[in-house]
Structure 1
Amino acid sequence: MKFLHAADIHLDSPLAGLQARADLPPGLLRDCTRRAFAAMVDLALAEDVAFVVIAGDLYDGDWKDFSTGLFFAEQMKRLGRPCFLLRGNHDAHSVISRDLRLPPNVREFSVRTCQTHSLPELGVALHGHSFPKRAVPEDLSESYCEPLRDMLNIGVLHTSGEDPGEHETYAPCSPGRLALKGYEYWALGHIHSRRVLHERPWIVFPGNTQGRHARETGAKGCTLVTVEDRRVVAIEHRTLDTLRWAVLEVDAEGADVATLTGRIATAVQAALAGAEDRPLLARLELRGETPLHAALATDAERLAAECRNAAIEAGGDLWVEAVRVRTQPLRLQAADTLEPLRAAFAAGLSDPGRVEALLAEIAALRGKVPLPAREGLSLPSDAAGLTQLAREAWQIAEAVILAEGRG
């Protein structure tokens, strides 16, 4: 017997910061999350799984219209086998105002308490507790039902686990305590990168099915689980994404323009080789001490075009989401002239009160950004992040000063 474990599908979620990009092909971004979900159903049918588990965030938030729910219904009709659905923080009961009657093969976990759904003909029991509201600070797993005897027990849980902060904290729990519950498999959701927290019993985050911004790089998909005699004997990651994100890290150390262009081309070729024939959205990051520092800081458009040109030469599809110049000028370039200014710039963060005030302003600004775009932001949340942002801001200012000095 096999089953599929997916999570964080975020149906109809826009890809962060790209909707107004006129240089991208019209069909590149359209319906990415829907196409990944349809690929999941294709996989379920091809592998003839017994059932599917969705561990939260099927939806990205309240539906803009009923087409989101109708698409899900169409796919469940095509699936034609049980699907167990848990609500997470994005599609919590209090978040979704529109709804449709669930397809007959879909069983949703209660928002009031832990609920057990059984498939006695398969010897399977699934235990889960949906989010009643977006913010769930308590450990829901503490109230999960005891395992049923002579059954394959699966816990379905949307949780931040013990994540150090990449994602917001919801229903935190300890993998060690989950392992002691007596379940054979924990189907988790919320963390968008694939992670296996424990083996035998298996505690698994499958990751999301489609990357939605530049921090969600690499292959995205779901987990295929194989069961024999009510024991999990194998788990496999299966790729579903239709568009992939990548970061092109290029060392500009000691490079002239021709050498740097060659290094960019090499990075593009490597990214395309690992993309499994999928189109790529890439963030170019340049690092290293280089005499080109000042020119690079104001040359983002050409750098992006060089990436695209290299992709065309390699026969692949790649577009640049952003260019990040993290290079440093040669030490002699900055000389003593800019050192007092740099020191004064850095000293601005030596006052803890000023740091606290700046972080509060940034947090307030982040709160004003619409939720779909907020997840793609890279705004600092602590003093270390603010210091890094200040370094990057100084590099840009320094590059402009050096460039104007040459003019």
Structure 2
Amino acid sequence: MRSFRFIHAADLHLDSPFRGLAGLPEAWRERVKEASFTALLRLTDLAVSQRADFVVFSGDIYDAKDRSLRAQLRFRQALETLAGHRIPAFVIHGNHDPLHDGYSAKLTWPDEVKVFGAGGVESEIVRAADGEALARVSGISFGKSSVTDNLTPGFRGWGDGLYHIGMLHTNVDGDAKHDNYAPCRLGDLLARGVDYWALGHIHTRRILHEKPWVVYPGNVQGRHIRETGPRGCYLVDVSASGETELTFHALDDVRWQEAEAAIDGLETEQQLMEALEEAVWAAAEAGEGRAVILRVTLTGRGPMHTVLKRGGVLAELGSALKESLAKHTVWVESVEDRTGAPIDRGELEGRPGFLGDLLRLAEAAGADPARLAAFAAEALSPLSAQPRLAALLAELGEEEFGQWLREAEELAIDMLAGTETRWSG
């Protein structure tokens, strides 16, 4: 076997609308609108500059089954660029862009492109420019949006001595934050004679196993505040002996970030504003020159908590931040107040009476995920009766319930002084 290099990407979601961007400045709109396409362009540039032997795209190339014509033309153009440099591309379709559902333009793909069908697992041998076999790539597309079968039994070892790459859009071991499409267990993947599983569907970058490799590269461009941090693809180097090395490359053009500013020890509004600005500049630096959409959360306990509860203060802080950042590539999506009064929570929890009982109950619920889930289900049951709200609630989990519980604790502690507020820009 001879050494080779390939790129593993997934979940491009081309032409995806960003969520949670009410009030976005006009100067930002075009950049945000183009972000998924910019990420695709960076991917093709990376493949060319790094002399990749081929590229695999593991599903959800498009954001919806009725994919936009613009997205299809841009993807075809990217594949043409790769083909012009003699870089083959292998493509599967996922739940967002099923092969046989929705609108698909009649386009001619370059000869160097292989789109795997949905009728069963197909397999292709990748060859170098001189005709020598480099690797075997096997894959299967979703034919419809909702695929609930385990697709791993269709993959098999070939016994040909070639490094075997399996392409699959799947939810391994039932990640609760993603739809359970083409579900499988990690053990299913390890037993199929595949050296590298090039997976898609989960938007967070993960390496589930090594030798054989089971890899999610994450999506190439974050689309909302739950998709923070660098987004991109893996450049995979395989040696002549089959040793595999992965290098992550960020491709995103607009980066979602979260930052915290603690009010502990702060006594003046000037100090508060300086703490906010410091958090913003740190987030901008972490963005590595990209446009940054930022959510700032105020935390901790101190006298500034009382100031923050005054009507309009968060909005004024947010406006001041926007003015100071007008010429920079950071947009503050929102400022949240999760601060508390300067008290000893432990001392309150130890007191007899209603508040002490309430805080002890909250502490016990927060420490037990099952108990917290049951408590949240009971509390939210009136909302769950509404279909639209039920769909939104279904996306929530332990993290959100835990945060709501903490906010409720602070509200209980703070009842004599008012309620929490939030500014959103």
TM-score (norm 2): 0.80
Name the CA distance, whole Å, in 2 between partners of 1:159 and 1:29.
28
Deviations 1:57-107 (A, max 9, x none): 101103464222111111111111311111111111354323323412221
43-52 or 143-152, larger mean C-alpha shift: 143-152
Q: Contact 2:236–2:246 at 8 Å: present in 1 too?
A: yes
The residue that corresponds to 2:93 in the other structure is 87
1:294 Cα deviation from its structure 2 partner: 4.2
Q: Contact 1:362–1:379 at 8 Å: present in 2 too?
A: no
Q: 1:220 aligns with which of 231, 234, 244?
A: 231
Question: Do structure 1's residue 380 and structure 2's residue 396 form an aligned pair?
Answer: yes
Deviations 1:155-210 (A, max 9, x none): 11111212542222222222343233222211011111111111222211111101
Q: Contact 1:109–1:130 at 8 Å: present in 2 too?
A: yes
The residue that corresponds to 1:305 in the other structure is 319
Structure 2: gaps spanning 5 or more residues: 363-371, 420-425
The residue that corresponds to 1:185 in the other structure is 196
Q: Equivalent residues in 2 for 1:338-349 (5 A)?
A: none
Q: Contact 1:115–1:145 at 8 Å: present in 2 too?
A: no
Distance change (3 Å), C-alpha of 1:217 and 1:354: closer
The residue that corresponds to 1:389 in the other structure is 404
The residue that corresponds to 1:371 in the other structure is none
Name the CA distance, whole Å, in 2 between partners of 1:323 and 1:361.
31
The residue that corresponds to 1:355 in the other structure is 379
Q: Contact 2:15–2:68 at 8 Å: present in 1 too?
A: no
Identical amino acids, percent of aligned pairs: 32
Q: Contact 1:294–1:400 at 8 Å: present in 2 too?
A: no
1:20 Cα deviation from its structure 2 partner: 5.0
SS of equivalent residue, structure 1 residue 97:
coil
Distance change (3 Å), C-alpha of 1:387 and 1:194: closer
SS of equivalent residue, structure 1 residue 328:
coil
Deviations 1:224-265 (A, max 9, x none): 011222624321001111111110112222322222222222
Q: Contact 2:15–2:33 at 8 Å: present in 1 too?
A: no
Distance change (3 Å), C-alpha of 1:317 and 1:202: same
Aligned residues: 389
Distance change (3 Å), C-alpha of 1:277 and 1:387: closer
Distance change (3 Å), C-alpha of 1:302 and 1:400: farther
48-57 or 161-170, larger mean C-alpha shift: 161-170
Name the CA distance, whole Å, in 2 between partners of 1:138 and 1:379.
22
Q: 2:388 aligns with which of 346, 364, 381?
A: 364
The residue that corresponds to 2:184 in the other structure is 173
Distance change (3 Å), C-alpha of 1:186 and 1:354: closer
1:30 Cα deviation from its structure 2 partner: 2.2
Q: Equivalent residues in 2 for 1:228-239 (5 A)?
A: 228-229=239-240, 231-239=242-250
Cα RMSD of the aligned pairs, angstroms, is: 3.4
Question: Do structure 1's residue 116 and structure 2's residue 123 form an aligned pair?
Answer: yes
Distance change (3 Å), C-alpha of 1:19 and 1:293: closer
1:54 Cα deviation from its structure 2 partner: 0.3
298-307 or 131-140, larger mean C-alpha shift: 298-307
Name the CA distance, whole Å, in 1 between partners of 2:376 and 2:255.
40
Q: 1:239 is aligned with what amino acid?
A: A
Q: 1:209 aligns with which of 197, 205, 220?
A: 220
Deviations 1:315-357 (A, max 9, x none): 8421111222111223499x99xx77x969x99x998884362
Question: Do structure 1's residue 106 and structure 2's residue 113 form an aligned pair?
Answer: yes
1:300 Cα deviation from its structure 2 partner: 2.6
Deviations 1:261-309 (A, max 9, x none): 2222222222122211111101111112233324324433233234445
Deviations 1:139-163 (A, max 9, x none): 2112213234211100111112125
323-332 or 53-62, larger mean C-alpha shift: 323-332
Question: Do structure 1's residue 4 and structure 2's residue 7 form an aligned pair?
Answer: yes
TM-score (norm 1): 0.84
Q: 2:118 is aligned with what amino acid?
A: V
Name the CA distance, whole Å, in 1 between partners of 2:27 and 2:416.
33
Question: Do structure 1's residue 69 and structure 2's residue 72 form an aligned pair?
Answer: yes
Q: Contact 1:380–1:389 at 8 Å: present in 2 too?
A: no
Distance change (3 Å), C-alpha of 1:103 and 1:136: same
Structure 1: gaps spanning 5 or more residues: 368-373
Name the CA distance, whole Å, in 1 between partners of 2:253 and 2:13.
14
Question: Do structure 1's residue 162 and structure 2's residue 168 form an aligned pair?
Answer: no
Distance change (3 Å), C-alpha of 1:2 and 1:381: closer
